[in-house]
Protein backbone atom coordinates (compact mmCIF):
# COMPACT_ATOMS: atom_id res chain seq x y z
CA UNK A 1 0.00 0.00 0.00
CA UNK A 2 1.19 3.51 -0.85
CA UNK A 3 1.80 5.52 2.32
CA UNK A 4 -0.29 8.68 1.94
CA UNK A 5 -0.52 12.06 3.66
CA UNK A 6 -3.56 14.32 3.48
CA UNK A 7 -2.88 18.06 3.70
CA UNK A 8 -5.35 20.91 4.12
CA UNK A 9 -4.87 24.50 2.90
CA UNK A 10 -5.58 27.62 4.95
CA UNK A 11 -6.61 31.21 4.40
CA UNK A 12 -5.73 32.47 0.93
CA UNK A 13 -6.91 29.29 -0.81
CA UNK A 14 -10.61 30.22 -0.66
CA UNK A 15 -12.37 30.58 -4.02
CA UNK A 16 -15.78 31.82 -5.09
CA UNK A 17 -18.12 28.90 -5.75
CA UNK A 18 -16.17 26.43 -3.60
CA UNK A 19 -18.36 23.71 -2.17
CA UNK A 20 -21.32 24.49 -4.43
CA UNK A 21 -21.09 21.15 -6.25
CA UNK A 22 -21.24 19.31 -2.91
CA UNK A 23 -24.84 20.38 -2.33
CA UNK A 24 -26.10 17.50 -4.50
CA UNK A 25 -24.66 14.99 -1.99
CA UNK A 26 -27.10 14.32 0.91
CA UNK A 27 -24.44 13.88 3.67
CA UNK A 28 -22.73 17.09 2.57
CA UNK A 29 -26.01 19.02 2.43
CA UNK A 30 -26.69 17.92 6.01
CA UNK A 31 -23.29 19.24 7.15
CA UNK A 32 -23.93 22.62 5.48
CA UNK A 33 -27.21 22.84 7.41
CA UNK A 34 -25.44 21.95 10.68
CA UNK A 35 -22.84 24.62 9.94
CA UNK A 36 -25.54 27.24 9.48
CA UNK A 37 -26.96 26.38 12.92
CA UNK A 38 -23.53 26.79 14.53
CA UNK A 39 -22.41 29.90 12.63
CA UNK A 40 -25.70 31.74 12.28
CA UNK A 41 -25.05 32.29 8.56
CA UNK A 42 -24.90 30.18 5.40
CA UNK A 43 -21.54 28.96 4.08
CA UNK A 44 -23.17 28.32 0.68
CA UNK A 45 -24.56 31.83 0.50
CA UNK A 46 -21.13 33.37 1.23
CA UNK A 47 -19.25 31.07 -1.16
CA UNK A 48 -21.69 31.63 -4.01
CA UNK A 49 -22.65 35.29 -3.70
CA UNK A 50 -20.50 37.29 -1.27
CA UNK A 51 -16.97 37.71 -2.62
CA UNK A 52 -16.07 40.55 -0.24
CA UNK A 53 -17.22 38.56 2.78
CA UNK A 54 -15.44 35.40 1.64
CA UNK A 55 -12.17 37.39 1.74
CA UNK A 56 -12.82 38.41 5.38
CA UNK A 57 -11.12 36.30 8.07
CA UNK A 58 -14.41 36.09 9.97
CA UNK A 59 -16.00 34.17 7.08
CA UNK A 60 -12.99 32.70 5.26
CA UNK A 61 -11.90 30.37 8.04
CA UNK A 62 -15.27 28.72 8.81
CA UNK A 63 -16.02 28.37 5.07
CA UNK A 64 -12.72 26.60 4.46
CA UNK A 65 -13.20 24.34 7.49
CA UNK A 66 -16.67 23.28 6.33
CA UNK A 67 -15.78 22.68 2.66
CA UNK A 68 -12.48 20.87 3.34
CA UNK A 69 -13.87 18.67 6.12
CA UNK A 70 -16.83 17.64 3.93
CA UNK A 71 -14.46 16.71 1.08
CA UNK A 72 -12.32 14.68 3.50
CA UNK A 73 -15.39 12.86 4.86
CA UNK A 74 -16.57 12.03 1.33
CA UNK A 75 -13.13 10.56 0.52
CA UNK A 76 -13.28 8.49 3.71
CA UNK A 77 -16.79 7.28 2.80
CA UNK A 78 -15.19 5.83 -0.35
CA UNK A 79 -12.86 3.70 1.76
CA UNK A 80 -9.69 5.83 1.72
CA UNK A 81 -7.78 6.98 4.77
CA UNK A 82 -4.50 8.83 5.37
CA UNK A 83 -1.37 7.56 7.13
CA UNK A 84 -0.50 11.08 8.26
CA UNK A 85 -2.18 14.52 8.22
CA UNK A 86 -1.11 18.17 8.26
CA UNK A 87 -2.72 21.53 7.56
CA UNK A 88 -1.47 25.03 6.84
CA UNK A 89 -2.56 27.40 9.65
CA UNK A 90 -6.38 27.12 9.64
CA UNK A 91 -5.92 23.81 7.75
CA UNK A 92 -4.49 22.23 10.91
CA UNK A 93 -8.03 22.22 12.38
CA UNK A 94 -9.30 20.02 9.54
CA UNK A 95 -6.25 17.78 9.97
CA UNK A 96 -7.04 17.37 13.69
CA UNK A 97 -10.71 16.66 12.93
CA UNK A 98 -9.77 14.01 10.34
CA UNK A 99 -7.37 12.47 12.90
CA UNK A 100 -10.28 12.12 15.35
CA UNK A 101 -8.91 14.63 17.87
CA UNK A 102 -12.29 16.37 18.21
CA UNK A 103 -15.84 16.16 16.85
CA UNK A 104 -16.76 18.05 13.67
CA UNK A 105 -19.02 20.56 15.45
CA UNK A 106 -16.36 21.18 18.12
CA UNK A 107 -13.83 21.98 15.40
CA UNK A 108 -16.22 24.41 13.74
CA UNK A 109 -16.97 26.13 17.08
CA UNK A 110 -13.21 26.55 17.64
CA UNK A 111 -12.68 27.92 14.13
CA UNK A 112 -15.60 30.33 14.60
CA UNK A 113 -14.05 31.76 17.78
CA UNK A 114 -10.55 31.79 16.26
CA UNK A 115 -11.75 33.74 13.23
CA UNK A 116 -13.58 36.27 15.43
CA UNK A 117 -10.51 36.87 17.59
CA UNK A 118 -8.16 37.13 14.61
CA UNK A 119 -10.54 39.46 12.75
CA UNK A 120 -10.52 41.80 15.75
CA UNK A 121 -6.73 41.77 16.21
CA UNK A 122 -6.24 44.45 13.55
CA UNK A 123 -3.36 46.83 12.98
CA UNK A 124 -0.58 44.65 11.65
CA UNK A 125 0.61 43.72 8.19
CA UNK A 126 1.81 40.63 6.31
CA UNK A 127 3.79 40.31 3.08
CA UNK A 128 4.85 37.41 0.89
CA UNK A 129 8.42 37.30 -0.44
CA UNK A 130 9.56 35.14 -3.36
CA UNK A 131 13.08 34.17 -4.49
CA UNK A 132 15.19 35.94 -1.89
CA UNK A 133 18.50 35.45 -0.09
CA UNK A 134 17.47 33.49 3.03
CA UNK A 135 20.57 34.41 5.00
CA UNK A 136 20.02 38.10 4.30
CA UNK A 137 16.34 37.80 5.21
CA UNK A 138 17.11 36.13 8.55
CA UNK A 139 19.74 38.78 9.35
CA UNK A 140 17.41 41.70 8.56
CA UNK A 141 14.53 40.16 10.56
CA UNK A 142 16.88 39.62 13.52
CA UNK A 143 17.88 43.29 13.36
CA UNK A 144 14.32 44.64 12.95
CA UNK A 145 12.02 44.72 16.00
CA UNK A 146 8.32 43.91 15.57
CA UNK A 147 8.60 41.63 12.53
CA UNK A 148 8.84 37.82 12.30
CA UNK A 149 8.98 35.03 9.74
CA UNK A 150 5.30 34.00 9.93
CA UNK A 151 5.11 31.32 7.21
CA UNK A 152 8.20 29.46 6.07
CA UNK A 153 6.41 27.97 3.07
CA UNK A 154 9.18 26.68 0.78
CA UNK A 155 12.86 27.37 0.06
CA UNK A 156 11.78 30.21 -2.26
CA UNK A 157 8.63 31.57 -0.57
CA UNK A 158 7.98 33.03 2.88
CA UNK A 159 5.53 35.38 4.56
CA UNK A 160 6.65 38.01 7.06
CA UNK A 161 4.36 39.52 9.69
CA UNK A 162 4.49 42.46 12.08
CA UNK A 163 3.86 46.18 12.36
CA UNK A 164 3.47 47.96 8.98
CA UNK A 165 6.71 49.93 9.50
CA UNK A 166 8.73 46.84 10.37
CA UNK A 167 7.36 44.79 7.45
CA UNK A 168 8.09 47.66 5.02
CA UNK A 169 11.65 47.91 6.41
CA UNK A 170 12.31 44.21 5.71
CA UNK A 171 10.75 44.47 2.23
CA UNK A 172 12.98 47.45 1.38
CA UNK A 173 16.20 45.90 2.72
CA UNK A 174 15.96 42.32 1.43
CA UNK A 175 16.50 41.72 -2.26
CA UNK A 176 13.69 39.52 -3.57
CA UNK A 177 12.26 38.76 -6.99
CA UNK A 178 8.82 39.72 -5.66
CA UNK A 179 7.46 41.17 -2.41
CA UNK A 180 3.68 41.42 -2.13
CA UNK A 181 1.65 42.85 0.78
CA UNK A 182 -1.16 40.44 1.68
CA UNK A 183 -4.82 41.42 2.03
CA UNK A 184 -5.29 40.32 5.63
CA UNK A 185 -6.75 42.12 8.64
CA UNK A 186 -3.82 41.61 11.02
CA UNK A 187 -0.29 40.35 11.64
CA UNK A 188 -1.14 36.65 11.95
CA UNK A 189 1.42 34.21 13.38
CA UNK A 190 3.28 36.98 15.21
CA UNK A 191 3.55 38.46 18.71
CA UNK A 192 0.89 41.00 17.69
CA UNK A 193 -1.66 38.17 18.07
CA UNK A 194 -0.73 37.57 21.74
CA UNK A 195 -3.92 39.03 23.27
CA UNK A 196 -6.11 37.04 20.85
CA UNK A 197 -4.03 33.90 21.45
CA UNK A 198 -4.34 34.25 25.24
CA UNK A 199 -8.12 34.52 24.99
CA UNK A 200 -8.23 31.57 22.59
CA UNK A 201 -6.06 29.47 24.91
CA UNK A 202 -8.73 29.78 27.62
CA UNK A 203 -11.32 28.49 25.12
CA UNK A 204 -9.07 25.58 24.11
CA UNK A 205 -8.51 24.57 27.74
CA UNK A 206 -12.21 23.75 28.06
CA UNK A 207 -12.21 21.47 25.00
CA UNK A 208 -11.38 17.80 25.41
CA UNK A 209 -8.92 16.46 22.83
CA UNK A 210 -8.71 12.74 22.00
CA UNK A 211 -5.67 10.71 21.02
CA UNK A 212 -5.17 11.09 17.24
CA UNK A 213 -5.89 8.02 15.11
CA UNK A 214 -3.10 9.00 12.68
CA UNK A 215 0.03 11.13 13.31
CA UNK A 216 -0.33 14.90 12.88
CA UNK A 217 2.49 17.21 11.76
CA UNK A 218 1.77 20.52 13.51
CA UNK A 219 2.63 23.98 12.19
CA UNK A 220 4.75 24.99 15.18
CA UNK A 221 6.42 21.57 15.59
CA UNK A 222 6.70 19.45 12.43
CA UNK A 223 7.29 16.21 14.37
CA UNK A 224 4.55 13.54 14.06
CA UNK A 225 2.42 13.32 17.21
CA UNK A 226 -0.75 11.49 18.31
CA UNK A 227 -0.83 12.49 21.99
CA UNK A 228 -3.89 14.64 22.77
CA UNK A 229 -2.09 16.97 25.19
CA UNK A 230 0.87 17.47 22.84
CA UNK A 231 -1.46 18.34 19.95
CA UNK A 232 -3.46 20.75 22.11
CA UNK A 233 -0.28 22.43 23.38
CA UNK A 234 0.96 22.88 19.81
CA UNK A 235 -2.38 24.36 18.77
CA UNK A 236 -2.26 26.90 21.61
CA UNK A 237 1.06 28.17 20.21
CA UNK A 238 -0.16 28.28 16.62
CA UNK A 239 -1.73 31.75 16.55
CA UNK A 240 1.53 33.49 17.49
CA UNK A 241 3.98 30.84 16.23
CA UNK A 242 5.42 30.41 12.74
CA UNK A 243 3.89 28.04 10.19
CA UNK A 244 6.86 25.78 9.44
CA UNK A 245 5.48 24.38 6.18
CA UNK A 246 8.88 23.94 4.50
CA UNK A 247 9.89 21.63 7.36
CA UNK A 248 6.57 19.78 7.16
CA UNK A 249 7.26 19.17 3.44
CA UNK A 250 10.78 17.93 4.21
CA UNK A 251 9.42 15.60 6.93
CA UNK A 252 7.04 13.79 4.55
CA UNK A 253 9.62 11.53 2.80
CA UNK A 254 11.37 10.85 6.14
CA UNK A 255 8.03 9.46 7.42
CA UNK A 256 7.85 7.13 4.40
CA UNK A 257 5.15 9.19 2.67
CA UNK A 258 5.00 8.42 -1.06
CA UNK A 259 1.81 10.31 -1.98
CA UNK A 260 0.33 13.62 -0.80
CA UNK A 261 -3.29 14.56 -1.40
CA UNK A 262 -4.24 18.22 -0.92
CA UNK A 263 -7.91 18.40 0.05
CA UNK A 264 -9.55 21.78 -0.50
CA UNK A 265 -9.70 24.63 -3.02
CA UNK A 266 -6.63 25.57 -5.06
CA UNK A 267 -3.27 23.83 -5.23
CA UNK A 268 -1.10 26.03 -2.99
CA UNK A 269 0.23 23.25 -0.75
CA UNK A 270 1.01 20.74 -3.52
CA UNK A 271 2.85 23.60 -5.28
CA UNK A 272 4.92 24.35 -2.17
CA UNK A 273 5.68 20.66 -1.56
CA UNK A 274 6.72 20.22 -5.21
CA UNK A 275 9.26 23.02 -4.81
CA UNK A 276 10.62 21.52 -1.57
CA UNK A 277 10.81 17.73 -2.11
CA UNK A 278 11.00 15.72 -5.31
CA UNK A 279 10.18 12.15 -4.36
CA UNK A 280 6.44 12.25 -3.63
CA UNK A 281 3.39 11.92 -5.90
CA UNK A 282 1.03 14.90 -5.60
CA UNK A 283 -2.75 14.91 -6.06
CA UNK A 284 -5.55 17.43 -5.50
CA UNK A 285 -9.17 16.99 -4.48
CA UNK A 286 -10.69 20.47 -4.89
CA UNK A 287 -14.31 19.60 -5.62
CA UNK A 288 -16.85 16.79 -6.09
CA UNK A 289 -15.58 16.01 -9.61
CA UNK A 290 -12.11 15.18 -8.24
CA UNK A 291 -13.32 12.80 -5.53
CA UNK A 292 -11.79 9.31 -5.98
CA UNK A 293 -14.07 6.54 -7.26
Catalytic site residue from 189, 190, 218, 242: 189
Is residue 89 part of the annotated active site? The answer reads: yes
**How many whole angstroms separate alpha carbon 292 and alpha carbon 37?**
30
Catalytic site residue from 13, 69, 89, 218: 89
Is residue 88 part of the annotated active site? The answer reads: no
Residues marked as catalytic: 89, 189
Amino acid sequence: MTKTAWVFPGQGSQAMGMGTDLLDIPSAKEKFAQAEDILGWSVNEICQNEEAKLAQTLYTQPCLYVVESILADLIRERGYKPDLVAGHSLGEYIALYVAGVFEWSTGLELVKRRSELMENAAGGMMAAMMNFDREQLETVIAQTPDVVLANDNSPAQVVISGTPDAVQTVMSQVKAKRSVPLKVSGAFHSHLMTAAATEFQEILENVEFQQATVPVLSNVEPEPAVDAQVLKQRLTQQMTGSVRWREISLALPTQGIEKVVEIGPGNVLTGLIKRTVSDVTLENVRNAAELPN
